[in-house]
Chains A and B, each alone.
Chain A
Amino acid sequence: MNNNTMSDLLTVISGIVGVLLVASLIGWLLQRRLSPDGRNEAIENLNARIKAWWVMAIALALAFLGGRTGVVILFALCSFAALREFMTLTNATRADHRTLAAVFFIVLPVQYYLIWIEWYGMFSIFIPVWVFLLLPIVSALSGDTRNFLIRIAEMQWALMICVFCVSHVPALLTLNIPGYEGRGVLLIAFLVIVVQLSDVLQYVWGKLIGRRKIAPSLSPSKTVEGFIGGALSATLIGAALWWMTPFSPFHAALMSLIITLMGFLGGLVMSAIKRDRGVKDWGHSIAGHGGFIDRLDSVVFAAPIFFHLTRYYWGA
């Protein structure tokens, strides 16, 4: 990491700390005024969320300062936690035990190792080609055919979402963009900031002016006004952060819009899965937010698209 990147990274981190300080102050004031005895659930949830944001921001900042190794380890751990949540809701039986063990202890580490050694030709096909063909073989050899197609499809989809897609965040570090050497962590910071801000802003706009529900059967809290307000404001903020990226301000806005749209639609897909399985949250590990997948769902859908668009148009 050169000095320039370092100073930009520190600017970004101070910006995030600033935003979180303001959020914590607002949360504290709201609690004093509206929930002094800790009984207002919405406020308690808001403050739990802000606290969890601090933890996430610190983890991310430490990973950035740790460079490629730090980022790869952080997202490998996120994949592990997400996969654990996803597999819990699947129909996997005793017969799939070996397959599951292989998924957790071989496929996941290998995928992140391939990213760490920057082998693009392999990490982009390892799961969709090699694992998707080899995995059903292991399960088939167990001899249990009950629900076979469902069990296989669930495992493959779990790998796609929780490992393949999530791993495209650290994979941004492997891109070779002329004039942007050594600044890959800033590209990750850009993606994560735009996706997460878009989530938060959609929530805020929805609370302020949200009336019409956008997908009542999938997610009762999402509104048209929240979506448009959130997407537009996140796009504007993304454009204002163009100096972190290899993009021009216009392209940064376009990329932010795509990221925001993919994040929003990804959130709907993941909600549909939760509804199907009759759960409200994916897990309970992150206080106020639910599980890891609840926090990662929009990143999951945005990351591979963002990776490939950037690679195609800006990569060498």
Chain B
Amino acid sequence: MNFRAWIADLAGGAIAFFARAVTAVQPVWTGIDPAQVRQRVYFANHASHGDFVLIWAALPPALRRSARPVAGADYWDRGDLRRFIGRDVFNALLIARNAEGRSADPVEQMDDVLDDGSSLILFPEGTRNLTEEVLLPFKSGLFHLARTCPEIEMVPVWIENLNRVLPKGAVVPVPLMCKVVFGAPMHLEEDEEKDEFLTRTRNALLALNPKAETRG
């Protein structure tokens, strides 16, 4: 292991420890067995910069090592520290979010990573949800992935409370308990249209929100 990788490993451990100290994050396994190491696409709601850190901290080490978050290059490629954290610590797959001036197609990039045997952490809303809406409509990337890689499990992951820990514009996180709920794996069904699939996956993700149940 070279020095840079060693530092990245150490930084990753420190970030995960910090995330646990602030949120006492509790993984809830309602649909998958965490002991089973499988290749998956985890798709989650996105309201805070800390989202993939939390999923990452909630995953057991065996799953964590192979899970690569998909993140916007426009944010993570700016500045040396961000680049180090994005590329080296989290091994993120950086994609260009704007269609103009992009050299590679994001779906192809994700496809390549899946071909290498890694898992992906994906935020299908496309951007951070800063609205009052619980969940924004999904972008089509998830559907294209499900079509090109039909054998890979698509696992909905609901992140609870993190938007209160680190709301928009806040720099200092406030310690509150968070949950990360992993739902049952999904696949593209035969003859399923794009909109149907995106609605179905979005509803599956919404159904994991613990607050939805209590309010009835």
Contacts and interface: CB of A to CB of B under 8 A. Distances in A.
Interface of A: 80-81, 83-85, 87-88, 92, 94, 97, 100-101, 104-105, 278, 283-285
Interface stretch (B67-75, B147-155, B169-177): B169-177
Contacts of B214: 278
B174 A101 contact: yes
A84 B177 CA distance: 6
Interface stretch (B2-10, B35-43, B117-125, B160-168): B160-168
A92 B163 CA distance: 12
Interface in B86-122: none
A104 B175 CA distance: 8
B24 interface: yes
Contact of B167 (A94, A104, A284): A94
A278 B216 CA distance: 13
Nearest to B173: A101
B26 A97 contact: no
Contacts of A92: 164
Interface of B: 24, 26, 161, 164, 167-168, 170, 172, 174-177, 214
Contacts of B161: 88
13 contacts: A83-B175, A84-B24, A85-B177, A88-B161, A88-B177, A94-B167, A94-B168, A97-B170, A100-B174, A101-B170, A278-B214, A283-B177, A284-B26
B176 A88 contact: yes
Contacts of B164: 92, 94
Contacts of A97: 167, 170, 174
For A80, A84, A92, A284, the residue with the greatest tally of chain B CB atoms inside 10 Å of its CB is A84
A267 to B, nearest CB: 21
Nearest to B166: A97
Contact of B172 (A80, A88, A105): A105
Nearest to B23: A84
A115 to B, nearest CB: 21
A87 B174 contact: yes
Contact of A101 (B26, B168, B172, B177): B172
Contacts of A85: 177
B103 to A, nearest CB: 38
Contacts of B176: 84, 87-88
Going nearest first, the 8 A-B pairs with the smallest beta carbon separation are: A100-B174, A94-B167, A88-B177, A84-B175, A88-B176, A101-B172, A284-B26, A97-B170
Given A84-B175, A101-B172, A278-B214, 9 more contacts: A80-B175, A83-B175, A87-B174, A88-B176, A92-B164, A94-B167, A101-B174, A104-B175, A284-B177
B174 A104 contact: yes
Contacts of B175: 80, 83-84, 87, 104
Contacts of A105: 172
Nearest to A83: B175
A16 to B, nearest CB: 27
Nearest to B167: A94
Nearest to B172: A101
A161 B161 CA distance: 22
A285 B214 CA distance: 22
A97 B168 CA distance: 10
A84 B26 CA distance: 14
Contacts of A284: 24, 26, 177
A283 B177 CA distance: 8
Contacts of A80: 175
Contacts of B26: 284
A80 B176 CA distance: 10
Contacts of B167: 94, 97
A84 B214 CA distance: 21
Nearest to A292: B24
A310 to B, nearest CB: 32
B17 to A, nearest CB: 15
Nearest to B161: A88
A100 B174 CA distance: 6
A289 to B, nearest CB: 14
A233 to B, nearest CB: 34
Nearest to A87: B176
Given A85-B177, A88-B161, A97-B167, A283 B24 contact: yes
Contacts of B172: 101, 105
A285 B25 CA distance: 9
